[in-house]
Amino acid sequence: MAGHRVQLFEIDVATLADWRRDGTGYVLVDVREPQELAVCRIEGSLDIPMGEIPGRVEEIPGDRPVIVMCHHGGRSAQVVRWLSARGMDNVVNLRGGIDAWACEIDPTMGRY
C-alpha cells in the first residue's frame, strides 16, 4: 500500500482481523453512541459518536489508513463519505460493522 493510502471504500472484518494480527498500522474510529459502546467494542478504537465527527475531525489522523465502524455499517458509511468529501482519502468503512465482527471474528462478544 504505497504511502499508506487506502484506495477502497470499505473493507470486511476478515481484512481488519488480518491487519490486527499482522500489526498493520491503522486507526479504527467507532462512531457508535456511548450506550452501544457499553455493550461491546473493539479494544483500541478511537470512539467519536457520529454527531461529534465535525467538531472532532482533527482527532482523525491523515497519515495512515482509518477504518470507520458502527453497528452494521450504515452510519460509518455516511461518515466515510463525509470525510472523503472533505479531502480525507485514507478512510474506509468496515462492512457489517461490529455486528459482523461479533458474528465472524469474535463470537464471545456481546451483541445487540
Neighbour tally for 36: CB within 10 Å: 17
Secondary structure (3-state) at 14: helix
Catalytic residue among 48, 70, 80, 98: 70
19 to 16, 26, 52, 110: CA distances (angstroms): 5, 8, 27, 22
For residues 5-23, one letter each, b for 16 or more C-beta atoms within 10 angstroms of the residue's C-beta and e for the rest, the string is ebeeebbebebbeebeeee
Answer yes or no: are the C-beta atoms of 110 and 40 closer than 8 Å. yes
Respond yes or no: is residue 70 known to be catalytic.
Answer: yes
> Would you please indicate which residues are annotated as catalytic (active-site) residues?
70
